[in-house]
Amino acid sequence: MDLNYSAEELEFRDEVRAWLGANLPAELREEVESYAHLSKDDLLRWHRILAKKGWVAPAWPREWGGTGWNVVQRYLFEEELGYAGSPPLIPFGLSMCGPVLLRFGSDAQKKRFLPRIYNGEDFWCQGYSEPGSGSDLASLKTSAVRKGDHYVVNGQKIWTTLAHYADWIFCLVRSDSGTSKRQEGISFLLIDMRTPGITVRPLILMDGAHEVNEVFFDDVKVPAENLVFEEGKGWTVAKYLLGYERMNTGRIGESKRQLAYLKRYGEHLMGDTRWRDRLSRLEVELTALEITNLRFLDRMRRTGQPPGADVSMLKIKGTEIQQELTELMMDATDPAASDPLSVAVRKRYLSMRKTTIYAGSNEIQRNIIAKSTLGL
Amino acid sequence: MDLNYSAEELEFRDEVRAWLGANLPAELREEVESYAHLSKDDLLRWHRILAKKGWVAPAWPREWGGTGWNVVQRYLFEEELGYAGSPPLIPFGLSMCGPVLLRFGSDAQKKRFLPRIYNGEDFWCQGYSEPGSGSDLASLKTSAVRKGDHYVVNGQKIWTTLAHYADWIFCLVRSDSGTSKRQEGISFLLIDMRTPGITVRPLILMDGAHEVNEVFFDDVKVPAENLVFEEGKGWTVAKYLLGYERMNTGRIGESKRQLAYLKRYGEHLMGDTRWRDRLSRLEVELTALEITNLRFLDRMRRTGQPPGADVSMLKIKGTEIQQELTELMMDATDPAASDPLSVAVRKRYLSMRKTTIYAGSNEIQRNIIAKSTLGL
Amino acid sequence: MNFDYNEEQQLLADSVRRYLAKSYDFEARRKIVAAEGWSTDAWKQFAEIGLTGLPLGTDHGGFGGGAVDLIGVMEAFGEALVVEPYVPLVLAARALERGAKSSPLLSSVVEGRARLAFAHTEKGARYALDAVQTRAKESRLSGEKSAVIGAPIAEHFVVSARGEDGIGLYLVDRAATEVKPQRTLDERLAGDVVLREAPAHKLSGGAALLEETVDFATALLCAEAVGALQFACDTTLEYLKTRKQFGVPIGTFQALQHRIVDMYISLEQARSMACLAASRADSAGDARERARAISAAKIRVADAARHVSQEAVQLHGGMGMSEELKISHTFRRLTVLAREYGDVDHHLARYAAL
Amino acid sequence: MNFDYNEEQQLLADSVRRYLAKSYDFEARRKIVAAEGWSTDAWKQFAEIGLTGLPLGTDHGGFGGGAVDLIGVMEAFGEALVVEPYVPLVLAARALERGAKSSPLLSSVVEGRARLAFAHTEKGARYALDAVQTRAKESRLSGEKSAVIGAPIAEHFVVSARGEDGIGLYLVDRAATEVKPQRTLDERLAGDVVLREAPAHKLSGGAALLEETVDFATALLCAEAVGALQFACDTTLEYLKTRKQFGVPIGTFQALQHRIVDMYISLEQARSMACLAASRADSAGDARERARAISAAKIRVADAARHVSQEAVQLHGGMGMSEELKISHTFRRLTVLAREYGDVDHHLARYAAL
């Protein structure tokens, strides 16, 4: 057992760190660090810098631009991104649609979409949740009826993150409502957001931010060639994506950066036992999660097995830590202050409540662990 | 709104307090205060002192020895008992079998049993739980088969508190195994513990104490006259008992005494912010529960309605407070000390874990609130 | 011992609830917040119902009510998320009455004509009442009070400042100040109040009156929180009963059942402490007994506010995050209420020291 | 970066587990506890497996192992609730080796012939290592060490005492002491050790060696706790799967599912910190880095011990309270482990000060 990174791993990390130091634009980093709103241009700018370096999609096969890094390197890379204060890489293209196409897409689909995802030419969003289908995704109702060489899509998606930036949306749709198992009638469709009949309506969250949307489909014609995999096999695609290796579920690097910042931001409270103990416990929990994450990576590296329900634990703990960080930040803020940073810190507390809800609520994650790890 | 007791209520409390000061034997109080084991004689001695005063069963009708006190007076009385450090009044006769006989018993049963319960001549225990029937009481299997003027009882009870002291046991038994609803074949039987075929086996708890037992019934003959209410109506009796007004579910007086003691016992830690804050929060929670209890009593007094699921909340919070008290006590104990009090304090932490399990586990109490108060 | 409202308290609470139901529902409130952040109509109604006169004595046309008399009103305000700066008015008027009995402003307050605010907070002081940098010298104040609730619409301020004989309260005309308006996290009007040798009238009572006033405010806040907590619990319960997933209402899932039960238990415990706080604010034997009860109540109410608000949003799922649902605004209010007049840590320290 | 055991570590852990499965199951342990509280057979086996030699250098016939080498052993001990005072032996022998390299006792330890205990606790000191009342004067010790684990069977003690040049460790022959035996809450042998001008041999290393030794002990304890936590989780899971109520296994109830998931999460987080503790006990850059890691680990492990032990008993219902089931004994062990070598508050204070 050796908890320290090897010399090679450290060398890799230092290379990444040095490159980020030289190539992450200061104004982007400052926006991230001050909790400012990131525009579509901000996001794409950073995406394209990484694409140019060849680092925007490390997990993809080399032929499509992947780096060939092992799981530890990929983890280190993502940790460094978070720790450096880089803008997020929006996952819908790079970590969701991309991997789906790589696994299930036709050659034509791969050639058409993957380079544009890689280079940040298409901005993607994800059409999964519906007003009546949140945790119970398989109950989705948005319909796709085949008419000649098109599907006609009708229905509504909700909580669609950054749909107002998106050029494309990948959707789970019901292509057959007559199946006995609900999962069997679902297909995976790629839809151009400029198609007539699509309406995007902002959903403002409680911090006042516009991140998510409702997306309405009213007789939207989608070319049949935009069906991924087979008709009625969309659930297989969705399940694959759930099990897809994401190195960054716990957001360790990002939380480490926030924690370091919190120590400076709350320096005036470091002598206050009550606040200090909350900080200590949080730091311990984050340290533990980092090691837990490394243990899972080590097992993946040794066994070659995908992470399974481990990801659920990282999601639960990672989001709890992120929320506690924002709460400590808020409590360190001068209650009488109304400067922009203080206001941003308070609003961030509001905003981060979403983390235990989105991407499979923490309740759903506990159900997953109970079922697949514990056999209950 | 007035949170203070009225002059009459205070006068009543002072009368009780003065009487307890004069009549609670010092050696009994000291045993209670040092967490010593109370013998059957200790328990009965105190029972009989109260019986002689006429205060042992305040809630009973006056003709059977009740005091005619209103709910607030009964609460005050129980609080003073707990606060004074008096031995517990074992509830199985006074608060369980007694009320059942008063409501459902025949005249003969009342005349035969009630005076002996009142005067502490019979020691009772409760035969409800079985190895396979804990939370799911209606699944009980102990059978009672009618043969002439007797029932023949076979089966096993478990967790039978103080069965090794008991002269009598009241039991839920299955008198008809052929009913469609499981609840319908259950009867309520009174059984003399000296009847041949009864075996009591100690169950030692993790603190090493002998409080509970297994009770085995092997062809035990029970006179049919010991059936309470009608055959097959035992569930009605049991349900009545669950809703029976118990003033003392939260054990406020007892916890107030423990808290006062804890402040003396842990005086050396009062300057330690960490320990002190736990104590403060505990004191606040107990203060809140006391007022909550009074609010419920006030509503009962005004509406004349039984407490319903309020009792579940008092059970949940009251037991959580009792457990936290014992944990703070243990943490105040010198870790290097092995004197009898330190040892007793540590064992008490072990022992008190039972409080959130017994008398309807706190999980069952939450189910009850969810169903009957919240309508879920 | 009784927990009833008396007839007047019940009538007052009913009047307020009727008005809020009619004219201050979530949509109406949204419009008020989107516009100026307060409503002249609401203010007029408060005066008509008798709210502005309630805390002041009969000498000035008021009713001489205390915190207990305001419990029902504050609960209704908490449930409806009223943004009008009524509490600052009560605090300033009460302090003024105690510190300058004959002030002609008081009858204007009762009639709903004078708007007052209470300016005791400063940057860097956190929740300490004695960390006052604002200076009083020869009846003139200099300094800055920050995040003063209701400041943008106040015509007079009662201000804490440090003079030669210690901390005291002073009445200042708004015209002698500069007010920089803000909105709080929970959408109320507030402002920084800059004082540059502003002429001031000193009130009697000193630091003790400041502490008593803030304790009174905390008692009102606890009652307001109970109203907000009740709404958070009830609306979450309703959501659990109506929202279906996997073909059944999500309220059939035991894990969620147990969690909402714990929310209601928090609510009931907080309600009990709010009763205690109001009772002791009105009739504690001494300042220490009052302070212990107020801090104990704030500790429990703040814990409940955190617990219930976080769980309410979580159990609502995505809908809890949407500003279209009232619960997200109740979340904001409870987040602020947990900290206003002292967060849990502040009151734990105060409680332990008493 | 890797979390594998190496071949020797795996072999050692396997040997220990095999022995414990064969000769130290719950029934065997019950008999040991009911009799003298330790087993000469177990002690002999520990020597044969190589446990007594593991922490000592090759000079003395040992293997020069560290905390990481003992992780697997300690986890097995924690799972089996071993009551033999092995850790005190390790601590005393390690300190002796560091403070008196040529002590002839060391090879006896390796061979399993010498039984040592580590006597650093005193009444009134709580968990502070520097609150030492025992005095060293002219190579004689006077004072009392309390609740010394393994004292009743120890032949030598390594004792902390305050001499003219500060706190140091001393070797004392048991014959020069008076031992008052006890049993701990978790059924181990312990004793108060009374020293009345007891002849002692001073070890070099001073207070730093004492602190290093206790940090090493804490790292072992964390690993032991992980074994006990693992058992508590697994046996509770098994119970949820087999215990039926209302016609179904109680593990189908979602509220219980979510709670046992949280138990396993606590276990995994504690395990990670136990890895860190062992790693830093062996190879921290400096004492501060070591102490930070050890205290952080103890905080997390103690929190997990409290959480998991309480939940395990609660989810077992009445059966969890019965001394017939092993879980109640694991509860006792975890209760003690949460506090031994410093409770959470102690380590929070130490962590914050570093």
Residues A56 and A47: their CA atoms lie apart, in Å, by 7
CA distance D313 to D318: 8
Min Cα–Cα distance to chain A from D280, Å: 9
A245 in catalytic set: yes
pLDDT tens digits, chain C, 354 residues: what are they?
Answer: 889 899 999 999 999 999 999 999 999 999 999 999 999 999 999 999 999 999 999 999 999 999 999 999 999 999 999 999 999 999 999 999 999 988 999 999 999 999 999 999 999 999 999 999 999 999 999 999 999 999 999 999 999 999 999 999 999 999 999 999 999 999 999 999 999 999 999 999 999 999 999 999 999 999 999 999 999 999 999 999 999 999 999 999 999 999 999 999 999 999 999 999 999 999 988 999 999 999 999 999 999 999 999 999 999 999 999 999 999 999 999 999 999 999 999 999 999 999
Which residues of chain A have a CB within 8 Å of the CB of C335?
A: 349-350
Say what the pLDDT of residue B309 is. 82
Q: What is the pLDDT of residue B247?
A: 67
Contact A255, A321 (CB under 8 A): yes
| B335/D190 touch (CB, cutoff 8 Å), yes or no | no
Task: Specify the pLDDT at position D329.
Answer: 98
Q: Compute the nearest-CA separation of D256 from chain C (Å).
A: 8
**Residue B245: per-residue pLDDT:** 60
Give CA–CA dist D68/A13, Å, rounded: 26
Chain D residues close to A287, C-beta within 8 Å: 272-273, 276, 296
- How many angstroms separate the CA atoms of B102 and B54, rounded? 18
Burial class (CB in 10 A: 0-12, 13-18, 19+), A148: exposed
pLDDT band at D90 (very low <50, low <70, confident <90, very high): very high
* pLDDT for the residue B308: 79
- Answer for the pair B157, B130: CB distance below 8 angstroms, yes or no: yes
Q: Over the stretch A175-234, which tens digit does the pLDDT of each residue have?
A: 998 888 989 999 999 999 999 999 999 999 999 999 999 999 999 999 999 999 999 999
C-alpha B23/C-alpha B29 separation (Å) is 11
Phi, psi of D221 (to 5 degrees): -60, -40
Question: Can you give the pLDDT at residue B59?
Answer: 92
How far apart (Å, rounded) are the C-alpha atoms in residues A298 and A231? 38
Task: Calculate how close chain C gets to D253, using CA atoms only, in Å.
Answer: 7
A3 to chain D nearest CA, in Å?
Answer: 5
Rg (CA), chain D: 20
Q: List chain D domain ranges.
A: 7-110, 116-206, 208-353
Q: Which residues pair with D178 in a beta bridge?
A: D194
Candidate list A121, A184, A245, A320, residue with the active-site label: A245
pTM score > 0.95 for this model? yes
Are A350 and C244 a contacting pair at CB < 8 A? no
Reduce the DSSP state of residue A2 to 3 states and report it: strand
Please state which architecture CATH assigns to domain C7-110: Orthogonal Bundle (1.10)
Euclidean distance between CA atoms A39 and A34, whole angstroms: 14
Q: Which CATH class is domain C208-353?
A: mainly alpha
Helix extents (H) in chain A: 7-23, 26-33, 40-53, 71-84, 91, 98-104, 107-118, 234-242, 252-265, 273-303, 310-332, 340-352, 362-368
CB atoms < 10 A from the CB of A274, how many? 18
Judged by DSSP in three states, A365 sits in: helix
Fold for B124-232, please state it. Answer: Butyryl-CoA Dehydrogenase, subunit A; domain 2 (2.40.110)
Q: In which element (H, E) is residue A93 found?
A: none
- Mind listing the pLDDT tens digit for each residue in D265-304? 999 999 999 999 999 999 988 999 999 999 999 999 999 9
pLDDT digits (tens, 9 = 90+) for B283-339: 999 999 999 999 999 998 888 887 778 889 999 999 999 999 999 999 999 999 999
Which of A269, A272, A273, A280 would you mutate first to test chain B, the one with the most B CBs within 10 A?
A273
CB atoms within 10 A of CB D144: 19
CATH architecture of D116-206: Beta Barrel (2.40)
| C289 vs C354: CA distance, rounded Å | 9
Question: What is the four-CA torsion angle of A327, A331, A335, A337, rounded to 10 degrees?
Answer: -70
Q: CA dihedral defined by B369, B375, C5, C9, rounded to 10 degrees? A: 140
Flag if A370 and D269 touch (Cβ within 8 Å).
Answer: no
Show which subunits contact B, needing at least 3 CB pairs below 8 angstroms. Answer: A, C, D
Which residues of B are identified as catalytic? 245
Residue B264: closest CA among B317, B320, B323, B328: B328
Residues from chain B contacting residue A277 (CB–CB below 8 Å):
274
Percent of chain C with pLDDT over 70: 100
- What residues in D contact C255, CB-CB < 8 Å? 254-255, 257-258
Annotated domain spans of chain B: 7-89, 124-232, 249-373
Q: What is the pLDDT of residues A32-84, one digit of tens each?
A: 999 999 999 999 999 999 999 999 999 999 999 999 999 899 999 999 999 99
Q: Where are the alpha helices (DSSP H) in chain D?
A: 7-23, 26-34, 40-49, 67-80, 86-99, 105-110, 206-242, 254-283, 287-316, 318-321, 326-337, 344-353
Question: Residue ranges of the alpha helices (H) in chain C?
Answer: 7-23, 26-34, 40-49, 67-80, 86-99, 105-110, 206-242, 254-283, 287-316, 318-321, 326-337, 344-353
Residues B334-360 have pLDDT tens digits of 999 999 999 999 999 999 999 999 989
Question: Which of the four pLDDT bands, split at 50, 70 and 90, describes residue D29?
Answer: very high
Contact C272 B273 (CB under 8 A): no
Q: What fold is seen in the domain A249-373? A: Butyryl-CoA Dehydrogenase, subunit A; domain 3 (1.20.140)
Rounded Cα–Cα distance for residues A245 and A71 (Å):
9
Least confident segment among B217-221, B360-364, C2-6, D138-142: C2-6
Is the CB of residue A202 less than 8 Å from the CB of residue A164? yes
Between chains, do D345 and B272 touch, taking CB under 8 Å as contact?
A: yes
pLDDT in tens, D315-352: 999 999 999 999 999 999 999 999 999 999 999 999 99
